[in-house]
Amino acid sequence: MEKRTWTPGQLLEVTGAYWSTCTLHAGVKLDLFTPLSAEPLTAGELAGRIDCNSRGLGMLLNALAAMDLLEKNGEQFAATPFAAKFLSKSSPEYLGHIIMHHHHLVSGWAKLDQAVRSGEPVRERISHEEVEASRESFLMGMFNLAMLIAPMIVPQIDLSGRRRLLDLGGGPGTYAIHFCQQNPELDAVICDLPTTRSFALQTVERFGLSERIGFVAADFESEEIPGGFDVAWLSHVLHGVGPQTCATVLKKAVAALEPGGLLLVQEFILRADRAAPLFPALFSLNMLLGTLAGQAYSEPELRDLLRNAGLRQVERLPVELPNGAGILAGRKP
């Protein structure tokens, strides 16, 4: 793998990149793109609608225009076609939930040195967060990401002949939805925390799959999970916990499978020496900030976890995914 050659300019670009990040976050948090997707407005006109200072708002709008997320014509601002598609709440492809999830992570990342020094989290684990806004951004942010990735994954996984899928830690159920859409004979159960239920049921209903996809509330790290499945899907579940809890969760998932059942794990996967790819390495730090023992795992570590859980024919599927993600599969004897 070719190593990056740094320059002082690139170093300064990285250290100041949060300026653009915070500008985008502010635009989404203030929901500027929704009204500006409907009609052009001046800073003063928009400020009156959203109860905002016109001077500060004007500066923010100009910065978003400089980022090519808004178009400025005279004193009026309008959303670009890209921003209207992905940043307006009126669009079905709105990505604001995952952006707000990233916004809620910023304060923790500012304390990374403290987490490294202590080896302990400096913020709450957001998947278990009791604050409604943070939890909604996390769950629907996972929906945003899965809606982008699931169409790349699901058609490449052969589930023909399989009838019941367990979406363990499935959140709003995006993968269960896509697997059921791809496989008309398949039913599914989402198993996740009780606080996830309303988000999952609403999302499933939106896709017209309420009769085929159910929900079971359980903290599967400490509670039992239902059985009788012939395929289990664990997408970005293991990185939230340490190796011992991973082993426990995987043994429960395997126990939930019928003989011959297929278990699929999607994770951000490090190479054997854990020093690449970049995104999984950074994601490990994100887990340090918010969990007691979570981390990104290397491919050899994941293979060993699956084998030790009782799976055979463990393999990495030839599915190319962004951000160092990959899928490992194993079969229950």
Pick 311 or 133 by higher pLDDT: 311
What residues have CB less than 8 Å from 294, skipping those under 6 apart? 239, 240, 241, 242, 287, 288
pLDDT at 1: 65
Mean pLDDT of 184-193: 97
Per-residue confidence (pLDDT) for residue 135, from 0 to 100: 79
Give the chain's length: 333
What is the pLDDT confidence band of residue 122, given thresholds at 50, 70 and 90? very high
Q: Give the per-residue pLDDT at 313.
A: 98
What CATH number has the domain spanning 8-88?
1.10.10.10
Closest CA to 293 of 242, 222, 221, 236: 242
d(CA 318, CA 147): 20
pTM of the model: 0.93
Residue 123's pLDDT band (boundaries 50, 70, 90)? confident
Element (H or E) spanning 230, and its range? Answer: strand 229-235
The whole-number average pLDDT for the span 143-164 is: 96
Answer whether residue 176 shows pLDDT above 80: yes
CATH superfamily of 145-331: Vaccinia Virus protein VP39 (3.40.50.150)
Distance CA 240, CA 174 (A): 19
Are 42 and 65 within 8 A, CB to CB? no
Flag whether pLDDT at 131 surpasses 70. Answer: no
Q: Predicted confidence band at 127 (pLDDT cuts at 50, 70, 90)?
A: low
The average pLDDT across 120-148 equals 80
The pLDDT-based confidence of 130 (bands split at 50, 70, 90) is low
**Mean pLDDT of the 164-169 span:** 98
DSSP letter assigned to residue 3:
P
Q: What per-residue confidence (pLDDT) applies to 126?
A: 60
Tens digit of pLDDT for each residue in 229-259? 999 999 999 999 999 999 999 999 999 999 9
Rounded Cα–Cα distance for residues 228 and 14 (Å)? 49
**Which residue would you say has higher pLDDT here, 124 or 41?**
41
pLDDT of residue 129 exceeding 70: no
pLDDT of residue 43: 98
Q: What is the pLDDT of residues 66-119, one digit of tens each?
A: 999 999 999 999 999 999 999 999 999 999 999 999 999 999 999 999 999 999
pLDDT, position 185:
97
Tokens coding 182: 């791809």
Looking at residue 76, its pLDDT comes to 98
- Domain positions in the chain: 8-88, 145-331
For residue 133, name the pLDDT band (cuts at 50, 70, 90). confident
Confidence of residue 3 (pLDDT cuts 50, 70, 90): confident
pLDDT at 164: 98
Please classify residue 251 by burial: count the beta carbons closer than 10 Å to its beta carbon, then call 0-12 exposed, 13-18 middle and 19+ buried: middle
pLDDT higher than threshold 70 for residue 45: yes
**Mean pLDDT over residues 310-327, rounded?**
97
Q: Burial, 262: exposed, middle or buried (Cβ in 10 Å; 0-12, 13-18, 19+)?
A: buried
pLDDT score recorded for residue 158: 96
Q: What is the identity of the amino acid at 205?
A: E
